[in-house]
Structure 1
Amino acid sequence: MTDLLTGKTILITGASAGIGAHAARLFAREGANLVLAARRLAQLDQVARSIREDGGDVLAVQADTTSADDIDRAITTAFDRWGGLHGALNNAGRSQGGGRLAEVPTDTFEAVLDVNFRGTWLAMRAEIAAMTSPGATGGSIVNISSIGGTFGTPGQSIYGATKAAVIAMSRSAATEYGRDNIRVNAIAPGATMTDMMTAWQEREPGIVDKLGSLAALGRVGQPDEIAEAAAWLISDRASYVTGMALGVDGGTAPWPH
């Protein structure tokens, strides 16, 4: 490893599986102090335990990103242990589960909006407050969006709308807090082999191969590949990068009509 994140205290939401769990392990290998947050405590503890066994410094906090109190508690944990917060990967998200726009139930719409957009906003609000608190020197926030937020994908209209909102919010926040030495960027992954993708494959056999065929590289991505991009954006090596939506998608083309 390259000690890319040595000395940085970083919060990762949605850290119990998928991109969040892979990012946690990578960030720890790169020297970060970590606060991991997720709703599923048993799985979160497993991730934290594996990091400690490899010599990493990590705390696990059961938290729902739709709860402002839970997010505040996670950040307080970072301050109590390490005295501040230098970076955040806002990864917690929820799938739409398919269905054309007019077929999406109201409760599904509200749940996807609540986690993907409102939850990201609540996390950013608390993280920015921490990074602008007395004695703080700024920081770097990375929000996980999706290529579904950059072009249309059938069966993902609500999910895509929330992910487009994450990109717009990231860009605006970057302009608002740049003078506070806070960088804000988004990552728009292509199809990535997470639990969401596995569930989609179960609903629609063959979708992984179909999505992979849309990428210039001819395959879907792996969580570690998204985590590597996030580590770079949070690190000081991306010190002049802000307000960007970085596509990590293997050169994926829009869904054919």
Structure 2
Amino acid sequence: MSTAPRNRFSGSTALVTGAGSGLGRAIALALAAEGANVVAVGRTAAPLDETVALIEAAGGTALAHPADVSRADDVKAAVRTTVDRFGSLDVAVNNAGVFRGGGPVADLSAKDWQTLLDINVTGVLYGLQAQVAQMRTQESGGAIVNISSNIGPHRTQSGATAYGVSKAAVSALTRGAALDHIADGVRINAVSPGASATSMSLRPGETEAERDVRMKGESPLGRVAATSEVAAAVLYLASSDAASVVGADLVIDGGASA
């Protein structure tokens, strides 16, 4: 069997939010490896520059654009920068998200609740609005993938109710937007990861080795997902391989929500 790399995104331009670390960085690297020009978006410049450096070291093309996804003007500016630099926006991945308010619902602070809504939900809405506005002007349209979670849309977890609410909203927003805009030539889907090999899956004070032991008992698969496995799902949905996939929510959680 051939192991030659695929180039499904050659000549395309992709924007990835939350691209300074974790899943966002893995997705940005994977898109660049398959030929996309990548615009790495996030709140802090330094980690975005690191992502760009990794892409360029591997022979790819990338640009860092600091932005706060909870600010509509920032998101619009990121799309403008993308189009000004590369001429189009073909793929967008709304990955930026936070976990706040761990604990019982009755003890949830108003600040944590608002932060979850501002970044995890409104940030995705602003992304969709700016991205669709550009993509529907393009003859080729575009593809958008929102990063949701298995917590909320697909399962519940004690102490993570507020986070789950925000991610259930992302999944609902994805399905509705997908129907609203497929006639514009824009395909919109979601990926819902479970625990993956990022800092978000670590409990306070827990090491990666301790997490791996814990996951043997908690996950049917017996481990967290590699970030490359989640990225592969995103690239599938963003590619022409998924040309007839609209409004899907692909769960990558090792069977936790089965």
Same structural fold, with TM-score higher than 0.5 when normalized by the shorter chain: yes
Contact 1:192 1:222 in 2 (8 A): yes
Q: Given residue 90 of structure 2, which amino acid in structure 1 is its aligned partner?
A: H
- Supply the distance in 2 between the matched residues of 1:129 and 1:212 (Cα, whole angstroms): 44
Q: What is the aligned counterpart of 1:224 among 216, 225, 228?
A: 228
Q: What is the aligned counterpart of 1:143 among 143, 146, 155?
A: 146
Matched, 1:35 2:39: yes
- Show CA shifts across 1:111-149 (max 9, x none): 11110001010011100001112x442111000000002
Where does residue 2 of structure 1 map in the other structure?
Answer: 6
Equivalences for residues 1-257 of structure 1 within 5 A: 1-133=5-137, 135-149=138-152, 150-198=154-202, 200-202=203-205, 209-253=213-257
Contact 2:69 2:75 in 1 (8 A): yes
- Supply the distance in 1 between the matched residues of 2:226 and 2:193 (Cα, whole angstroms): 10
Q: Given residue 218 of structure 1, which amino acid in structure 2 is its aligned partner?
A: G
SS in 1 for 2:15: strand
Q: CA deviation at 1:18?
A: 0.2
Contact 2:101 2:113 in 1 (8 A): no
Q: CA deviation at 1:209?
A: 3.9
Change in 2 beyond 3 A, CA 1:253/1:80: closer
Q: Given residue 202 of structure 1, which amino acid in structure 2 is its aligned partner?
A: G
Contact 1:201 1:207 in 2 (8 A): no
- Supply the distance in 1 between the matched residues of 2:217 and 2:101 (Cα, whole angstroms): 21
Contact 1:116 1:163 in 2 (8 A): yes
Q: Greater shift after overlay, 180-189 or 201-210?
A: 201-210
- Show CA shifts across 1:182-220 (max 9, x none): 11111110111212123x242799565444533321111
- Supply the distance in 2 between the matched residues of 1:21 and 1:245 (Cα, whole angstroms): 21
In the alignment of these two chains, the number of paired residues is: 252
Change in 2 beyond 3 A, CA 1:212/1:70: farther
Q: Given residue 140 of structure 1, which amino acid in structure 2 is its aligned partner?
A: A
- Superposition CA RMSD, Å: 1.7
**Matched-pair identity in %:** 38
Q: Greater shift after overlay, 119-128 or 216-225?
A: 216-225
Q: Given residue 50 of structure 1, which amino acid in structure 2 is its aligned partner?
A: L
Unaligned ranges ≥5, structure 2: none
Contact 1:232 1:238 in 2 (8 A): yes
- Supply the distance in 2 between the matched residues of 1:103 and 1:208 (Cα, whole angstroms): 30
Contact 1:64 1:70 in 2 (8 A): yes
Change in 2 beyond 3 A, CA 1:244/1:157: same
Q: CA deviation at 1:250?
A: 1.1
Unaligned ranges ≥5, structure 1: none
SS in 2 for 1:137: coil
Q: If the length of structure 1 is used for normalisation, what is the TM-score?
A: 0.93
Contact 1:4 1:232 in 2 (8 A): no
Contact 1:197 1:208 in 2 (8 A): no
